[in-house]
Structure 1
Amino acid sequence: MDQIKLNGMMFYGYHGVFPEENKLGQRFTVDIELFTDLKKAGQSDDIQDSMDYGQVYQVTQRVVEGEAKNLIETVAEDISKALFEQFGMLQAVSIYIDKPGPPIPGYYESVGVEIYRERQDDV
């Protein structure tokens, strides 16, 4: 399966289980791998045969900068659902969300979650 990758997208959101995270917010970095067949796009050189990276960014931005969630696991799940709804040619997606400097005891560069989802018949 071919892939389109969007790396290091940065957004500001209010996700977390601690009240200060919901009030102050923080930066989130998102990497996405989109799995689809790109042969037709490679032959036609037509964006209609591929997935518009700008639209992928906008879908991701709406979720990350939208309604606050307790868990970044939920944010990742919501991104995957929105991408499957927006892009009929999308067969699978891998999403990594990185949360720099989490407000938990200890010293961390970041914490993150990665999910992989495939298109289901009911999507």
Structure 2
Amino acid sequence: MTTPFTGDRIILKDLGFYGYHGLFSEEAKLGQRFFVDLECGVDLGAPGETDAIGHTVSYADIYDVVKATFEGKRTKLIEALAQNIVTALFDSFADIDWIVIRVRKPEAPIAMVRGEAAIELHRARTH
């Protein structure tokens, strides 16, 4: 196994979702946009050599798990939302060794003219 957070990776960036996560009742009622950036540590040697989908994790399948988890249980904190996504990905794909996930909230309820609030988790699979 490679050192966590180094080596080959599958990257999905700027995945946009509309959801109702947040602490405040307005967030639960009105919802808002969220963006997810994701890096999954996967050995890509075999698919690089064989050019065969059966030797890798499909980024389309990763997206499906992220979307289903995002649209599932509502969370108050984006930290909990990110952890739920990480857990679902580890549960779904045994070939993923580590995950770096960033959840961005451009309409966070703070008085900013421009920018976004975000969190980032770094998680390695515990075997």
Q: Give the TM-score of the pair, scaled to structure 1.
A: 0.94
- Tell me if 1:35 matches 2:50: no
Gap runs ≥5 in structure 2: 1-6
Q: Distance in 2 between matches of 1:61 and 1:110?
A: 21
Deviation digits for residues 7-57 of structure 1 (CA, Å, limit 9, x no counterpart): 111111110000000111111100100111110111111111111111111
Which letter does structure 2 place at the counterpart of 1:74? A
The offset of 1:107, in angstroms, is 3.7
Ranges of 4+ aligned residues in structure 1 off by more than 4 Å: none
CA distance in 2, matches of 1:21, 1:69: 11
The alpha carbon displacement at 1:108 in A equals 4.5
Match of 1:94 in 2: 100
Contact kept? 1:9, 1:31, Cα under 8 Å? yes
Greater Cα shift, 101-110 or 36-45: 101-110
Task: Number of aligned residue pairs: give it.
Answer: 121
Q: Is the 8 A contact 1:84 1:119 kept in 2?
A: yes
Which residue is 2:126 aligned to? 120
Residue 47 of structure 1: aligned partner: 53
Q: Indicate the RMSD between aligned Cα atoms, in angstroms.
A: 1.1
Question: Equivalents in 2 of 1:109, 1:70: separation in Å?
Answer: 21
Identity among equivalent pairs (%): 40
- Give, as a single letter, the amino acid of the residue that structure 1 aligns with 2:10: I
Give how far 1:104 is off.
2.2
